[in-house]
Amino acid sequence: MDLQWRPCRPRTGLAPHISHAYRYRRTVCTVSPMLSLAACCLLLLYSVRFRSGWSHGNGPRSYPVIGCLVDFYKNRWRLLDWYTELLAASPTQTIVVDRLGARRTVVTANPVNVEHILKSNFGNYPKGKPFTDILGDLLGTGIFNVDGELWYAQRKLVSHEFSARALRELEFAVLEDEARERLVPALGLAAARGDVVDMQDLLRRFSFDVICRVSLGVDPGCLDPALPAPRLAAAFDAAAGIIARRGAAPVAAVWKAKRALDVGSERQLREEIAVIHEAVMDLIHIRKKECGLRVNGGDGRRSDLLSRMIECGYPDEAIRDMVISFIMAGRDTTSSALTWFFWLLTRHRDVEREVLREITGGGASHAAAGGQGKMRALHAALCETMRLYPPVAWDSKHAAAGDVLPDGTRVERGDRVTYFQYGMGRMESIWGADAGEFSLRRWLSIIPEENAAPAPPAAVAGLSPFKYPVFQAGPRTCLGKEMAFVQMKFVASTVLRRFELVPVDEGRVPVFLPLMTAHMGDGLNVTVRSRSGEHVASAASSGN
C-alpha cells in the first residue's frame, strides 16, 4: 500500500491542543472499511480523553495515541524542572500528563488540592496497587505499603511505639555514641590528613548505623573503618536502587516480565531481598529467645523497635515488614536533607555564621534534645533546605473513584494523582517572588521565640502542612518526623561546632536525583578543617 499524507485544517470538535490533522489519499489499494472505522474511533477516543486533560489549557503538548511522549522524551533528563515550569505557568498550579505507556497523571502544586488529596477526601486516594506492586516484594505488608484497614491498624499500633519515651531516649543515646565514637573521629582524621571526604556517603553510613541500632537493636558498624562493609547495608542499597528503577520505568510491563522470568535486575532484587529478610528474621528469632530468658529470670530489657514489637505479640512476618519499612524510610531521608544542608551553608556563609552563633551560644544545654528544639536559626535552615531539596521529590496516590479537585481538575478512576513537593518549594504563588532563594527570614517570622512555648520540632505555627508537605500531611503524616529533626539538629550542631566544610569544587551546582529518596549526584566532596575555640568564636562573630 502506497499512502501519501498531506496536512489539512483541523476539523471542528478536535481537541484544541492537536496542532495538525492529517488525511490520506488512497492511491494503490482500498483500505478496509473496518480499519477506517477503527482508526476513527481511536482518534475520537483520544480526542475526548485529551480534551478532558486540557480542560484548563495546561500541561505538556499532547497528540493522539502517543500523548506527550515527544516532550517527555525531550525533557527526560530534567523532569523535575520541566514539571515545575509547567506548574508555575498553570493558573491552577495543576497539570494533566497523558503519554503512551503510562497512566493518566494529574500533577499538582496547589495546596488546596493537596489538602483535598491528603485529608478532605483521604479515602479516595490510597497508594493504590500500581504503587504497592512496585514496593511489595521488599516491604510486604509494612505500614508504608498498605492501605485501608490494614494501614489503619498498623498506624494505630506503631504510633504508640513511636511516642514511647524509652524509644526517644534510645535514639538520642545512639546518636551521642555514634557521633562520639565514629563520626567526629572520622572527620577529625580527614582534617588532620587533608583527605577529601564525601559527606553524602559519610552521612548515609551514619544514618544506617543509627536506624539499625534504634530499629533492630544491632550495630552494623558502617562507619567503623576496622569492620568490613556489612552485607545488610549493601543489600538495602542494591534493593533500593532496583526498586527506584521500577518506579521510573516508562512501561511497568518490562520489569514485571523480567520478574516473572527471574532475569537481570529482578533476579538480583530477589537475591538482595532474600538477604534482608533472612537477616531480619534471624534477629527476630534471637530476640524472642532473649525475651524468653528475661521471663525466666533474666533482665536487661531492650528499648529498640524490634524488641518492643515482639513484646507486643505481633506476628513474625508483620514485625519483619514493619521494621524493614522503617529502615527504608529512615536510612536515607535524614542523610539526604543533611547533605543539601551542609552544601547550602557552604554557599551561604552568612547563614552558617548565624547558625554557628546559635549553636555555640547555647552552651552545654544545647547538647540535649530539648535545647536543640529551641534552635530557631538551625531549625529554619533545615526547613529551608527541605523546601528546596525535599528528601522525597514527589508522592503519588491512585484515585479509587472519579473526583473533581477543588481547582476544577477532573480525576478519573485509576488516575495517578501526584503532589509535587519539589515544585511546591519553588512556587512563587506559595512562597513569594523570592521562592528560588535560600532565606531563613521566611521561617524565623513564624517560629516561636526562645522564651516562648516551643512548637513541635517538625511543625511551624501558622504554616499549613499542605503548603509544605515534606513529611506528608493529614492521616499519613510521617510518624518519624520528630525523630528526624532530633537527628538532623544533633548531627548539624555536632559537625558545625567542630569542623568547617569546604567543597572541593566550590563552583559546582550538584544535580538533584529523585530516586526513592533524593540524592546529590556524585556526592558532596569536601575538605575538612578543624575549628579551634578561637576560630569558632571568630566565625560566629564575623559579619556582625
Q: What residues are designated binding site for heme?
A: 478
Annotated binding-site residues read 478
Handedness of CA 351, 357, 360, 363 (dihedral sign): negative
SS3 at position 410:
strand
Cβ 6 vs Cβ 23: under 8 Å: yes
481-498 and 349-361 helices, crossing angle to 10°: 100
Query: Cα separation of 447 and 467, whole Å?
Result: 16
CA distance 217 to 418: 36
* Residues paired with residue 536 on neighbouring β-strands, in sequence order: none
Q: What is the C-alpha to C-alpha distance for residues 285 and 281, in angstroms, rounded to an integer?
A: 6
φ, ψ for residue 542 (rounded to 5)? -65, 145
Look up cell 540524592; give the residue. Answer: 519
Query: Helix (H, G, I), strand (E, B), or coil: what is residue 352?
Result: helix
Q: How far apart are the C-alpha atoms of 356 and 539, rounded to whole Å?
A: 8
| Inter-residue contact 447 to 455 (CB < 8 Å) | yes
Inter-residue contact 517 to 336 (CB < 8 Å): yes
Using alpha carbons only, give the angle 339, 340, 346 rounded to the nearest 5 degrees. 100
Rounded CA separation 123/403 (Å): 12
Nearest to 500 by CA among 225, 206, 188, 202: 188
Dihedral (CA of 11, 14, 20, 22) sign: negative
Cα–Cα distance for residue pair 377/443, rounded to 1 Å: 9
DSSP 90-113: STTSEEEE-BTTS--EEEE--HHH
Cα separation of 354 and 395, whole Å?
33
Residue 178 has phi, psi (to 5 degrees) of -65, -40
Query: Distance from CA of residue 130 to its chain's centroid?
Result: 18
